[in-house]
Amino acid sequence: SGWATLALLVSPMSWALGSVLGRRMPMPQGMMAPAAQMLCGGALMLTFGLLRGEHLTAMPDARALAAFAYLVTFGSLVGYTVYGYLMRHTSPSVATSYAYVNPVVAVLLGVVFAGESMSPLSWVAMAAILGAVVLLTRKR
For 116-132, write each residue's pLDDT tens digit: 999 999 999 889 988 88
Closest CA to 96 of 82, 110, 108, 109: 82
**d(Cα 136, Cα 140) in Å, to the nearest integer?**
10
| pLDDT over 70, % of the chain | 99
Evaluate if pTM is beyond 0.85. no
List C-alpha distances in Å: 93 to 8, 61, 81, 83, 140: 21, 39, 17, 12, 13
Q: What pLDDT is attached to residue 52?
A: 93
Range 63-90 average pLDDT? 87
User: Roughly how many angstroms between the first and final C-alpha of the chain, as a whole number?
Assistant: 43
Q: Sorting pLDDT into bands at 50, 70 and 90, what band is 64?
A: very high
- The number of beta carbons lying within 10 Å of the beta carbon of residue 130 is 14
Q: Which residue in 111, 86, 110, 81 sits closest to 97, CA to CA?
A: 86
